A and B are shown apart, each in its own frame.
Chain A
Amino acid sequence: MSLTQHLSTSISFSSSSFLSSSGFTFRNRDVSLPSENFGICRCVATPQEEKTTYKTKVSRNANMAKLQAGYLFPEIARKRNAHLQKYPDSKVISLGIGDTTEPIPEVITSAMAKRSQALSTLEGYSGYGAEQGEKPLRAAIASTFYGDLGIEEDDIFVSDGAKCDISRLQVLFGSEVTIAVQDPSYPAYVDSSVIIGQTGFYEKDAEKYGKIEYMRCNPENGFFPDLPKVSRADIILFCSPNNPTGSAATREQLTRLVQFAKEKGSIIVYDSAYAMYITDDKPRSIFEIPGAKEVALETASFSKYAGFTGVRLGWTVIPKELLFSDGFPVAKDFNRIVCTCFNGASNVVQAGGLACLSPEGRSAMQKVVGFYKENADIIMDTFNSLGFNVYGGRNAPYVWVHFPGLSSWDVFSEILEKTHVVTTPGSGFGPGGEGFIRVSAFGHRDNVLEACRRFKQLYK
């Protein structure tokens, strides 16, 4: 392909088609995969089928083979898509995938626009940034979120989001460590653990992977694990406020968790992606707990604060005090991972992150978070009024509704079929999620109100 060939090709793509592309609004429509029937299966006896399909001699990664199904959220998207095809005129409302819906405040987007424009000037152009993130942003994150907690600028590693950070942390820890997760939990923890090779096989009866310690969180134990019953694992993944249960751990509970980690010599990977949704005085960061710096690292995200789900920005905090058993600082190895396996978050996006943390930006983010919290209130009130046992919603943008004795996929399907509202079945988050449905509180107000109207119709 010569350059002239490239130039002579008539390209009809432009930014406007990028924005208006119908495949762009909904995640699922962008997924175009080969058939779900894995493996080459040519069962038709015609002369053309005599040709054998070439296979390499490279063995498939056995860890990938352990995964049970697709990642949860693309599966939800697929069902939503199928439903839309079945009922093309239905007004489907998505309270499934926790995707933000409200526009990003202008103070933030204009900073990103400004940085983009600056890249076309001599003075404003910048190439590779520091893999750990731009200094002013690291400093702003440290002072905004960890101001009086003794966390410094160089403890912060800026990323393209918590999901990617979790995999980088798994690459850091390697296949020889054991993990404990809350049950139910955000699927990326378990799935990335399987992929890196920390787990055994999936046990169908238990609906669990071997070698993972599942810490049940349910209404009976106030959604906090019964620690005396938990076996030691090297790494404890803990999310608070919790996805999917919406529960936020108390200071007392987190103090016990830190103590537990200390006694067992474990490392807590604390996911604080929803910290800004806390309404009461529950801790926003694990580092509010004395002693946490020696046992924990924290991962966080701009996704649910600034509507950056598509823009991609997050961070991980690793205190200098966090050491492996041989005394080697965890931050040092993570730095090596970040320098080798990553090349920094987008500079344009980091400019947006910095604007988020200006006084005007913070106030704007709080407004948007407040809007989603009002949605959560509306959803909670609806299910409460219908007589359901409802959890979460107060400190997180997720409402966790109990349907005792029922299969969560059945409830999901019934709700979708009868109300055209997409939710997420609790069992998608682990066996501890069975009997629950997660309703996310992201959405335009009118959609949330309409969804609630439909729930009332169905369950009155």
Chain B
Amino acid sequence: MYNFSTCNAMPCRNFLWPMIPQARLEIQKERVVCHTRVQRNVNLEKLQNGYLFPEISMHELQHIRKYPDAKLINLGIGDTTEPIPDIVAVSMAEYAHALSTVEGYRGYGAEQGNKALRKAIAETLYKDVQVKDSEVFVSDGSQCDITRLQLLLGSNVTMAVQDPSFPAYIDTSVIIGQAGDFEEKSGKFGNIEYMNCGPQNNFFPDLAKTRRTDIIFFCSPNNPTGQAATRQQLEELVKFAKENGSIIIFDSAYAVYVTDDSPRSIFEIPGAKEVAIEVSSFSKFAGFTGVRLGWTVVPEELCFSNGFPVINDFNRIVCTCFNGASNISQAGGLACLSSEGFMAVCSVVNYYKENAKILLETLASLGLKVYGGENAPYVWVHFPGSKSWDVFDYILEKTHIITVPGSGFGPGGEEFLRMSTFGHRETILEASKRLKNLFS
């Protein structure tokens, strides 16, 4: 059952103009339009298109207009589809009700998050790696945390990303002013170091060929490739960061999808606390994509070159630019980390993992080169020699399935297609059927 809520995210290119009725446009032609004398932020001018996922929504809308009767299947935007477990929903409902009572009412919470939740995150999810609750900062999600980290770091740092990568790393880097100019030919921003990750290098960067940058964004399990880095690879990464005096921003939003013994946290690697920050989320873990809850771990040991603790500055950002995640969402988060809640959310995760298995098997049986799917809710399919937007269009046209073209994640994604494995089981099975029809 496809949920049209994402259609409300009108893409930037068409955002305003279709909404102005004709009559007003005519009046505007006669009147002089007033400009302020405030210069547009040049960094925003550098952004090439709208943010990737609203762009996908735009294609979806156009397709629906063309084929109003088509039963569209969305394996594009990685949006969770299964209901939140009762125990979690009830805890949020109870908390909301309590806000109407004198004893249960709460005003401003600590910007860093509710103490019990911070403790639960530290003790449940970082049990063996000794992360303190004071190092956990609760947020309204990774996308927001990434921007707050960029604000923290400022425009004078350099950054490296995996290529392909989650678009928010590069886009926020451009917005904050780190990225330099876009080079049409390469499809890259001048000041960003792109660490190619592909089948040829087992989706792990060739660090010997990577130049030093201040910040290294690393996502594992990876969006979009679905690859989880091994312990050995992450040890190499931590060593690389240490030698270069760099800071790793490790995105572990999909940690709970790991099936094998790949690390779930960068802090499983000795020495990581001196070189890494970890960002994570309840979105894909608990179906909280709309509820909004995540966290960032900043170890006390992590210092800038002048010895100043990064955590102090991050705390200042959180106190000044943020006002805490919603107390209701935090109540839900705490329920997710209770023993009963954790089991319940994990069974939903397992459901999506089953979906991934089905899609993986389907695509492999069709002789397609497919990656990921084992440790992440994404499968990454290679169409050598093809342009990813062409494959995206072709699949959409022929099967009414929305996917995401790999080039949307960077030039390293060209020739690839990402399919997300969220969805009702019958939808996934139907998608498999249609793909079999198309490719066999």
Contact = CB atoms under 8 A, between A and B. Distances in A.
Interface of A: 1-3, 5-7, 9-11, 13-15, 17-19, 21, 23-25, 27-34, 38-40, 53-64, 67, 70-71, 73-74, 97, 99-106, 108-110, 112-114, 116-117, 119-122, 124-132, 134-135, 152, 154, 160-161, 163-164, 166-167, 171-177, 187-188, 191-192, 195-197, 234-235, 261-262, 264-267, 294-295, 307, 309-312, 320-329, 331-333, 335-337, 339-349, 352, 442
A127 B290 contact: yes
4 tightest A-B CB contacts, nearest first: A265-B37, A57-B245, A30-B110, A130-B8
Contacts of B86: 120
Interface stretch (B144-152, B226-234, B375-383, B411-419): B144-152
A30 B108 contact: no
Contact of B96 (A38, A101, A112, A328): A112
Contacts of A333: 40-41, 44
Nearest to B84: A119
Given A120-B88, A325-B39, A339 B54 contact: yes
Given A103-B101, A234-B37, 16 more contacts: A5-B127, A6-B342, A11-B120, A18-B330, A21-B116, A55-B303, A55-B306, A60-B305, A112-B93, A116-B90, A126-B3, A128-B79, A134-B8, A323-B35, A336-B47, A337-B44
A128 B202 CA distance: 32
B369 to A, nearest CB: 29
Contacts of B106: 24-25, 310
B35 A324 contact: yes
Interface stretch (B314-322, B355-363, B399-407): B314-322
Contacts of B54: 131, 339
Contacts of B35: 265, 323-327
B372 interface: no
B282 to A, nearest CB: 11
Contacts of B92: 112-113, 116, 119, 348
5 contacts: A54-B274, A121-B83, A327-B35, A339-B53, A346-B140
Question: Counting chain A CB atoms within 10 Å of each CB, which of B115, B167, B268, B422 scores highest?
Answer: B115
A11 B337 contact: yes
Nearest to A234: B38
A32 B111 CA distance: 11
Contacts, number: 483
Interface in B40-89: 40-44, 47, 50-51, 53-54, 77, 79-86, 88-89
A119 B348 CA distance: 14
Contacts of A97: 108
Contacts of A172: 41, 44
A196 B167 CA distance: 22
Contact of A9 (B155, B242, B339): B339
A107 to B, nearest CB: 9
B116 A23 contact: yes
B325 A312 contact: yes
A266 B36 contact: yes
Contact of B116 (A17, A56, A294, A345): A17
Interface residues of B, number: 154
> Per DSSP, are chain A's interface residues mostly helix, strand or loop, or mixed?
loop
A167 B328 contact: no
A64 B316 contact: yes
A309 to B, nearest CB: 4
A30 B321 contact: no
A268 to B, nearest CB: 10
Interface in B265-308: 265, 268, 274-275, 287, 289-292, 300-308
B24 to A, nearest CB: 9
Contact of B307 (A53, A110, A125): A53
A61 B153 contact: yes
Given A59-B306, A331-B15, A347 B291 contact: yes
B5 A128 contact: yes
A61 to B, nearest CB: 3
B122 to A, nearest CB: 11
Nearest to B143: A343
A327 B16 CA distance: 13
Given A106-B100, A325-B36, A61 B328 contact: no
A15 B114 contact: no
Nearest to B81: A127
Contacts of B246: 56-58
B116 to A, nearest CB: 5
Interface stretch (B169-177, B183-191, B387-395, B428-436): B169-177
Contact of A321 (B3, B34, B300): B34
Contacts of B164: none
